[in-house]
Amino acid sequence: MLETALRDPGRRTVEASWYTGGPAAVTRAALPDDRLGTALLPLRVAGRTEGQRQVLAAAEQTVVALRSVYVCAPRPGRMRAPAPVDAGRLTRSCDNLAAVLWRTRAECGRRHALLVEAVRAGCAGPVADVRAEPAGEGRVRAVLDRGDGTRTGFERLGDGELRYIALALVLLTGPGVLEVDPAGEVPEALQTLTVLVDGLDLGLDPRQRAALLGLAARMCERGHIRLAGAVSDGGLLGEEPAARVVDLVP
């Protein structure tokens, strides 16, 4: 439907060609090299022929799909610090995880209970709750409630535990919690969120990896979320039957 090629590295444009299906099977034009060409097609394609209308429909579906992508790259070093209460939705680095917990714990008890269950499966020691508490100056800190009056602050957790908690929270939430631009033209009941994670298994031990894959399989089965991640060893995903591996090594 659409092809692009860099013909002259010295120019700030790429040559784009798309199918038209009319007297000229293909139309070519120069597009900026710093913009998503697919999103610019409606400004260039008139939609007079059936081929042009197919191109426009494909471009629309692609742009809607890209808008529904959340790139998650947890940064444990940042997650240990208190976060402003009004931090809004969860950022890609998950550095405001404490603020998001402060809000979501009261918004949906069922979802929070599932998060606690997931954290219990992936963190060492007993876990009765995952919560945020005031840390002064308009900030909150995230803690694990051990159930016996003892609380463990996130600043004392390992990198693997923090990454696991962040990814579990992402899988259990949606566009209203994550820093992503929802596709308003698609009914909410039909929207699907795609989560992209580079280094999905980074820092996770076998128990955490198995628990996270199991949670991902259960959430993806509902049809409202998809998870795509790069891992160091695709064979490790064999632990989860629902996982599909694409080997990019020739």
Q: How many domains does the chain have?
A: 2
- The last residue of a domain, from among 29, 46, 63: 63
Residue 205, exposed/middle/buried by CB under 10 A (0-12, 13-18, 19+)? Answer: middle
Comparing 138 with 242, which gets the higher pLDDT? 138
Helical segments of 72-221, H only: 76-79, 97-107, 109-122, 159-172, 206-221
Judgement on whether residues 38 and 92 belong to the same structural domain of the protein: no
235 DSSP 8-state letter? G
| Domain range for 6 | 2-63
Judgement on whether residues 91 and 168 belong to the same structural domain of the protein: yes
Q: For 165-180, write each residue's pLDDT tens digit.
A: 999 999 998 766 776 6
Judgement on whether residues 203 and 88 belong to the same structural domain of the protein: yes
Q: For 149-162, write each residue's pLDDT tens digit.
A: 899 999 999 999 99
Q: For 206-228, write each residue's pLDDT tens digit.
A: 999 999 999 999 999 988 889 99
Average model confidence (pLDDT) across the chain? 87
What global pTM score does this model have? 0.79
Q: Which amino acid is at 64?
A: V
Q: For 26-58, write each residue's pLDDT tens digit.
A: 888 888 888 888 888 888 888 888 888 888 888
Judgement on whether residues 191 and 150 belong to the same structural domain of the protein: yes
Q: What is the pLDDT of residue 91?
A: 92
